[in-house]
Amino acid sequence: MVPSNGDTAGPSSSQDDPAATMKKRNRPQYHPFTQQQLPACKPILAPQTVVEVVYQYETSCIPGYMLDNEVAYIQNPSIDKTCTRILKVPKDMKHPIYIYYQLDKFYQNHRRYVKSRNDKQLINPKEANNTQYCKPEATEHGSPVVPCGLVAWSLFNDTYSFARGNKELRVHKRGISWRSEREHIFGKQVFPRNFQKGALIGGGTLDPGIPLSEQEDLIVWMRTAALPTFRKLYGRIQVDLRAGELITVTMQNNYNTYSFGGKKALVLSTAGVLGGKNSFLGRGYVIVGLACLLLALLLTMLCLVFPLKEEHLALQYPLPRPAR
């Protein structure tokens, strides 16, 4: 139903004579208001669908012979941990499509963990030596670790790449963190130092040539989650996916969740007004509505069965004194 400007011009526009130029002069000025062409948004009273693909891979990405010994598998750096899977898109997904990783039983909110960071060090290059609170991941052979602390040390390091058919789907990794954090929490002049150089390697490594403000995976990771099950943004896909399309996912399964039996999942999801797929609020409102309805019915029943008489206004109400 796209109106065309041609309609308003009418048949006269095809004639090319002086009269026509006169008419042209009489032609009403174009304005979106007069022409009812104001930009508009069109709310549709239908549920906005959020499409979500969750693929749990912590077991399926382990070769069969290592299934008994998952921890040894994940801790052995010499094993190639690439894992390729094909996902089917269930419904049309409009871009942007968000890529999340989901961890389970991972206590980013643990007291020992939450505290183990130093925000001054992150923003100010002069504070590199300030590794207060960072123990036990504060220094390496006497020189400070930047960024220090358990939070940074345990950086998530599984990677994903996607392909549709043979064509790679580009994953946009810029702008996955909050702008305020890039500008005010993580310094532009602060570069990683001594990171993951210790005897124990926690998680991902950082490129010492890139300032912290551009290490967006780190920034996302360091915004700690409040619950033991959480998703963090990995990147975005800026093309639409059609239902039934097959996506090839190549994962590097590096991160150790096997020690504590946590799950890992890859999530592709579109976003609605309320964010990702979360039916809780909807259900909550339905339940509250139902409860109100029930209460109304109950009250009506009560009024019918026990009609309010005057006694109800002044029924027995003993006021016994407290026992002595």
Binding site for other proteins (CB under 8 A): 98, 100, 102, 106-114, 119, 136-137, 150, 153-154, 178, 180, 184-185, 202-203, 223-233, 256, 259-261, 273-276, 278, 280-281, 284-285, 288, 291-292, 295, 308-322, 324
Q: How far apart are CA 11 and CA 19, in angstroms?
A: 13
**Complex with other proteins: residue 30 or 285, whichever CB lies closer:** 285
Please report how close the Cβ of residue 295 comes to other proteins at its closest, in angstroms: 6
Q: What angle do CA 66, 68, 74 make, to 5 degrees?
A: 50
Q: How far apart are CA 59 and CA 262, in angstroms?
A: 10
**Complex with other proteins: residue 198 or 211, whichever CB lies closer:** 198
**Complex with other proteins: residue 67 or 274, whichever CB lies closer:** 274
Q: How far apart are CA 262 and CA 223, in angstroms?
A: 20
Please report how close the Cβ of residue 149 comes to other proteins at its closest, in angstroms: 10
**Complex with other proteins: residue 67 or 227, whichever CB lies closer:** 227
Nearest to 152 by CA among 189, 99, 179, 190: 190
Please report how close the Cβ of residue 217 comes to other proteins at its closest, in angstroms: 15
Please report how close the Cβ of residue 183 comes to other proteins at its closest, in angstroms: 9
32-52 burial by CB neighbour count: b if 16+ within 10 A, else e? eeeeeeeeeeeeeeeeeebbb
Q: What angle do CA 137, 140, 145 make, to 5 degrees?
A: 60
Q: Is 192 helix (H, G, I), strand (E, B) or coil?
A: coil
**Complex with other proteins: residue 1 or 45, whichever CB lies closer:** 45
Number of C-beta neighbours around residue 150 at 10 A? 20
**Complex with other proteins: residue 91 or 223, whichever CB lies closer:** 223
Encoded tokens for 2: 């796209």
Please report how close the Cβ of residue 75 comes to other proteins at its closest, in angstroms: 10
Q: How far apart are CA 101 and CA 231, in angstroms?
A: 5
Please report how close the Cβ of residue 314 comes to other proteins at its closest, in angstroms: 3
